[in-house]
């Protein structure tokens, strides 16, 4: 989708002789996804697989792997371990980030918070800033990770990441709702998740139009 960029003109079209630059953003759009659970049997990993299956084919997904990160320690800000350097570089390459997470004690799991802390540091090198984001999660309970998602939204706000506000998605994961390889057994849930990913695709496109990320400027 074309848009008029102030970037070459420092916001002043006169500086470009009255001309504005038109930048085309074309798919595919690159989406990094986080699974907040480390469990082999994770229902959220199954949900992530379902979302990828149902997403518009213009989206390309890469997992942002959180399980190998050590605990964040600011004493390492000057010399990050290689695993954290690679993790941040992988995030930086994405157009958008999708968080698929369980709720732990009415918050997000510590492993996910730890990963976000690495991504946000050292100060001034936060790679989550300006990424189009969406949050979703599944739990066996009736409220389907709603409280954890609110907490995650607060973190993403602080990190200056634009968030898809609607649709919200709180998945109450009854046994068998999603198979381990991401098949959704309930047609209404499948339709809902497909529509959610279409909305995310449209949201990514809008965010890239307004605040293009590094490499797209
Ligand atoms: C430490 C811990 C805390 C939990 N706290 C909550 C909670 O606050 N709300 C909730 O709905 N489920 C809670 N649960 C249950 C999880 O939703 C459930 O284990 C879910 O399957 C975890 O997601 P996963 O299958 O992707 O690992 C908790 C589970 C654990 C292990």
Mean pLDDT of 45-67: 98
Q: Is 116 in the pocket of ligand 1 (CB under 6 A)?
A: no
Whether residue 153 contacts residue 186, with contact meaning beta carbons closer than 8 Å, is answered with no
Q: What is the rounded average pLDDT of the residues 31-52?
A: 98
Q: Which atom of ligand 1 is nearest to the CA of 141?
A: 11
pLDDT single digits (tens) 163-209: 999 999 999 999 999 999 999 999 999 999 999 999 999 999 999 98
* Measured distance CA(82)–CA(68) in Å, rounded: 11
The pLDDT, as a whole number, for residue 175 is: 94
Using the predicted structure, report yes or no on whether residue 44 has a pLDDT greater than 90: yes
Of 106 and 14, which is predicted with more confidence? 106
Residue 114 phi, psi dihedral angles, 5° rounding? -60, -45
At residue 39, the pLDDT reads 98
Which are the contacts of 35, defined by CB distance < 8 A and separation ≥ 6? Answer: 42, 44, 45, 48, 63, 66, 100, 101
Torsion of CA 186, 192, 195, 197, to 10 degrees: -80
Tokens of 48: 């992530």
Give the HSE-up count for residue 185: Cα atoms under 13 Å, Cβ half-sphere: 10
Instruction: From the CA of 173, give the closest atom in ligand 1.
Output: 21
Nearest CA owner, ligand 1 atom 3: 104
Tell me the per-residue pLDDT of 103-156, one tens digit each, with 9 for 90 and over.
999 999 999 999 999 999 999 999 999 999 999 999 999 999 999 999 999 999
Residue 139: enclosing H or E segment and its boundaries? strand 132-139
Ligand 1 pocket, residue 101 CB under 6 Å:
no
Q: What per-residue confidence (pLDDT) applies to 214?
A: 60
> Is the shortest distance between the CB of 39 and ligand 1 below 6 Å?
yes
> pTM of the predicted model, to two decimals?
0.90
Angle at 122 between CA 135 and CA 25, to 5 degrees: 50
Mean pLDDT value across residues 55-66: 98
> Is residue 101 within 8 Å of residue 135, measured between CB atoms?
yes
């Amino acid at each position: 989708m074309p848009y008029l960029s102030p970037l070459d003109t420092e916001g002043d079209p006169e500086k470009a002789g009255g001309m504005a630059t038109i930048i085309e953003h074309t798919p595919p759009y690159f989406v990094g996804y986080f699974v907040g659970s480390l469990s082999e049997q994770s229902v959220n990993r199954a949900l992530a697989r379902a979302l990828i299956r149902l997403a518009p084919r213009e989206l390309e997904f890469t997992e942002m792997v959180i399980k190998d990160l050590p605990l964040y320690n600011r004493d390492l800000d000057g010399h990050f371990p290689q695993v954290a350097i690679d993790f941040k570089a992988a995030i930086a390459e994405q157009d958008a980030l999708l968080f698929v997470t369980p709720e732990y004690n009415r918050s997000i799991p510590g492993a996910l918070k730890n990963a976000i802390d690495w991504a946000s540091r050292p100060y001034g090198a936060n790679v989550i800033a300006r990424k189009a984001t969406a949050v979703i999660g599944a739990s066996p309970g009736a409220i389907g990770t709603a409280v954890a998602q609110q907490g995650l939204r607060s973190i993403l706000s602080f990190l200056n990441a634009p968030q898809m506000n609607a649709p919200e998605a709180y998945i109450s994961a009854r046994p068998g709702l999603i198979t381990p390889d991401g098949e959704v057994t309930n047609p209404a849930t499948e339709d809902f998740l497909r529509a959610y990913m279409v909305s995310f695709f449209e949201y990514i496109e809008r965010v890239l139009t307004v605040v293009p990320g590094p490499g797209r400027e």
